[in-house]
């Protein structure tokens, strides 16, 4: 029998379609569309088991809303990695931290990628993504996998981001790739809204590439944080070790913050600061000639090794200060380049899986961020509260409930929204006491619960999702006729 939160790391093998979930409280009648979530849900194949949480096979979860009712469906992403593993009875494909497949991120492995991190809309297609460079297309209405999104160009690279940014002003998506080799390159590129084609924005050489999970954009710039969690690229390509186990922490090197012009790809500035690590940027913006970057920061990269399944399932993961994030705002002094980089902490609570009102506020000054955190009075290895952080007043509002473990909060604007927090926040919450999960709906401004919809089973702890208001409106989910 699984204990407490550890049920969140137990495989879910059943795929279901439920036309209506039981609702407690009220789901706003105006809420229409679908929340699609992504995350690992199967951790064993035959006698082999994944060792790291980040490696479990991807499952898509869809919560759809119509006139106060909520439906639900879940389905495994039928990536080549998943299908070959099921057929062969052992783990097949590149991994983040698991040893059995003896594989790293090489070009030959991209076709078997397990896209278990995020959901996005890229080049007109609905895609599941991971840090390998090929998104996997799916139909958001049926959750059927349609195949890998092929690009009409030859931009090369081994490791990228599951968090591309939508550059709305220029009608494109921006992301990056690291190409490992004798002369490794970090490449920032754009993808057109209506065509799967990369356009290189800018690049620069890196001797020892950093592990980077996400980045920021402002109105003029791309902001990259290179943490001193670095790898010898030739060792990475030649050794049969799990991808992340090739990286080492070099605190004496500090963290580098690079500002690139979104237009011509030139490096505008490069700043050095004390060592820290981050998975997730929150937002960036420009003010009085300087750039401000908000992110979820850790003092070192030990959080990565803290997330091995053996530790998480047996409550042995560290819960000390090195495993807790801070909501930091870094000032990059473009206007006074001789000034040092400084930062301030914007919330008394830590924050992870951070989100904002993306459509309205990404790349601009903003007022509110949402995320998950750990109650200081009830420290655990998994997040046990939701936070709403007002970055202007430096105040934080918390939602928590005994034995409940929330996932990433997603804001959905109300139809008549005037402020950035007019709407609701959606989060999939594991109820460890009951052994199932529910979809929680909070008022985005007050953080008071309006309602919840119960799922009959547990939803394993996931990563990221996206709300699509237009799903079900007759849009073509496969505009490029991707074939399996």
* 196-230: pLDDT as tens digits: 999 999 999 999 999 999 999 999 999 999 999 99
pTM of the model: 0.93
Could you tell me whether strands 395-399 and 172-179 are parallel, antiparallel, or unpaired per DSSP bridges?
unpaired
158 is in an annotated binding site: no
Give the SS3 label for residue 142: coil
Judged by DSSP in three states, 450 sits in: strand
Please tell me the least confidently modeled range out of 203-212, 357-366, 465-474: 465-474
- Quick one: residue 329, left, alpha or beta (phi over 0 = left, psi -120 to 50 = alpha)? beta
∠387-257-53 over CA atoms, to 5°? 50
Paired residues of 266 in beta bridges: none
- Per residue in 375-427, pLDDT tens? 888 878 789 999 999 999 999 999 999 999 999 999 999 999 999 999 999 99
Residue matched to tokens 């953080």: 447
SS3 content of the chain, % helix, strand, coil (to 5): 10, 40, 45
pLDDT band (50, 70, 90) for residue 109: very low
Spatial neighbors of 192 by CB under 8 A, at least 6 apart, are 123, 171, 172, 199
Cβ neighbours of residue 476 closer than 8 Å, sequence gap 6 or more: none
Q: What's the CA gap between 317 and 325, in Å, rounded?
A: 15
DSSP one-letter code for 237: H
End-to-end, the C-alpha distance of the chain in Å comes to: 39
Distance CA 1, CA 17 (A): 26
Is residue 445 marked as binding? no
> Which of 102-111, 141-150, 245-254, 462-471 has the weakest average pLDDT?
102-111
Q: Is 213 annotated as a binding residue?
A: yes
Closest CA to 284 of 211, 204, 369: 369
Within 10 Å of residue 345's Cβ, how many Cβ atoms?
Answer: 12
Task: Confirm whether residue 159 is marked as ligand binding.
Answer: no
- For every residue of 343-386, which 3-state class applies, written as one string? EEECCCCCCEEEECCHHHHCCCCCCEEEEEECCCCCCCCCCCEE
What pLDDT was estimated at residue 248? Answer: 97
Mean pLDDT of the chain, nearest integer: 91
The CATH code of the domain at 4-468 is: 2.130.10
Domain boundaries, the chain: 4-468
The number of CA neighbours under 13 Å toward the Cβ of 223 is: 27
Structure tokens at 262: 């979104």
């Amino acid at each position: 029998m699984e204990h407490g939160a550890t049920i969140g790391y137990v495989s879910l093998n059943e795929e279901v379609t439920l036309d209506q979930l039981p609702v407690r409280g009220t789901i706003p009648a105006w809420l229409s569309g679908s929340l699609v979530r992504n995350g690992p849900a199967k951790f064993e194949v035959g006698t082999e088991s994944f060792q790291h949480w980040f490696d479990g096979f991807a499952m898509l979860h869809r919560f759809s809303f119509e006139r106060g009712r909520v439906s639900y469906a879940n389905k495994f992403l039928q990536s080549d990695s998943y299908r070959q593993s099921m057929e062969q009875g052992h783990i097949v494909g590149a991994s983040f931290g698991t040893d059995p497949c003896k594989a790293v991120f090489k070009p030959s492995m991209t076709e078997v990628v397990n896209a278990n991190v995020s959901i996005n809309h890229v080049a007109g297609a609905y895609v599941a993504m991971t840090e390998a460079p090929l998104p996997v297309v799916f139909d958001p209405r049926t959750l059927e996998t349609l195949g890998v999104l092929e690009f009409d160009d030859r931009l090369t690279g081994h490791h990228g981001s599951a968090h591309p940014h939508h550059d709305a002003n220029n009608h494109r998506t921006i992301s990056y790739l690291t190409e490992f080799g004798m002369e490794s390159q970090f490449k920032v590129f754009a993808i057109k809204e209506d065509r799967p084609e990369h356009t290189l924005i800018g690049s620069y050489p890196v001797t020892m590439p950093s592990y980077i999970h996400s980045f920021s954009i402002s109105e003029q710039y791309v902001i990259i944080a290179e943490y001193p969690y670095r790898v010898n690229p030739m060792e990475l390509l030649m050794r049969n070790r799990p991808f992340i186990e090739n990286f080492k922490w070099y605190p004496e090197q500090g963290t580098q913050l690079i500002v690139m012009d979104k237009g011509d790809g030139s490096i505008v500035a490069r700043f050095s600061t004390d060592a820290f690590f981050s998975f997730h940027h929150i937002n960036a913006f420009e003010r009085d000639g300087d750039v401000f970057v908000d992110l979820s920061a850790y003092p070192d990269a030990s959080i990565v090794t803290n997330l091995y399944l053996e530790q998480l399932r047996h409550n042995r993961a560290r819960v000390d200060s090195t495993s807790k994030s801070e909501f930091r705002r870094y000032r990059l002094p473009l206007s006074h380049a001789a000034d040092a980089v400084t930062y301030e902490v914007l919330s008394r609570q830590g924050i992870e899986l951070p989100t904002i009102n993306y459509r309205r506020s990404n790349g601009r000054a903003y007022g509110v961020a949402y995320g998950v955190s750990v109650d200081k009075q009830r420290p655990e290895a998994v997040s046990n509260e939701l936070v709403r952080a007002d970055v202007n007043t430096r105040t934080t509002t918390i939602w928590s409930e005994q034995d409940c473990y929330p996932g990433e909060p997603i804001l959905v604007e109300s139809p008549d929204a005037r402020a950035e927090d007019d709407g609701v926040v959606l989060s999939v919450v594991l109820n460890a006491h009951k052994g199932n999960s529910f979809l929680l709906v909070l008022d985005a401004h007050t953080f008071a619960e309006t309602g919840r919809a119960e799922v009959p089973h547990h939803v394993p702890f996931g990563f990221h999702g996206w709300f699509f208001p237009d799903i079900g409106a007759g849009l073509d989910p496969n505009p490029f006729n991707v074939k399996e």
